[in-house]
Amino acid sequence: MTTQNAINWPEKYLPGTGDNFVSNEVIVRGVTAARVWHHLTDTSTWEAYYDNVADISFPQGGGPELKDDQVFRFGTFGFPPLDAHVVEYQAPAQGTPGRLSWTAKQDGGPQERLDVLHAWLVEDLPGGRVRVLTQETQIGAPAAALAQERPNPMLNGHQAWLDGLIRAASGQPHAGA
């Protein structure tokens, strides 16, 4: 029997307890967890393979590589730049999945406030395969509104991120290029 690793969820963001939750996963051949990890954690590559991210900055210095306890900002899904904080960082190693999670927040009144946890799991699988799982829990009125849209912009946006990430890790050009 084969079991798959899962995201480590803080209780506050447990799937199904917020206003929006999405889960996307790919399992592909021909790329390694290390290559995927590079493109996931080096934010200078994000805009080259994912169209729904912009204005990445590091207000406390550091970057462009993410690391444990890193603070950064980025815009996505039309929101003003979100204040993000890496809360879990573990590079993939033999027999150990890579884990990356960040919280992202937008302050404001009750209709603007947003609080999310975006988590990633990257692991090599037998047979030269890699598995990339990304899940996000969102809390707040903007999240509730996104959850009602069809097609679901978060689900589709995260799938585009995964697809672009795999293309970049495989050395393939951006789909829009």
Q: What is the pTM of this model?
A: 0.94
**DSSP one-letter code for 173:** P
User: How far is the C-alpha of 28 from the C-alpha of 38, rounded, in Å?
Assistant: 17
Domains of the chain in sequence order: 18-169 (3.30.530.20)
- What pLDDT digit, counting tens, does each position of 66-105 carry? 999 999 999 998 888 899 999 999 999 999 999 999 999 9
Average pLDDT, the chain: 94
Contact 71, 60 (CB under 8 A): yes
List the beta bridge partners of residue 137: 21, 117
CB 167 within 8 A of CB 49: yes
- Count Cβ neighbours within 10 Å for each residue of 35-74 and write b for 16 or more, e otherwise: bbbebbbebebbbebbebbeebeeeeeebeebeeebbbeb
- Single-letter code of the amino acid located at 44: S
Interatomic CA distance for residues 85 and 94, integer angstroms: 27
What confidence tens digit (pLDDT) does each residue in 50-71 have? 999 999 999 999 999 999 999 9
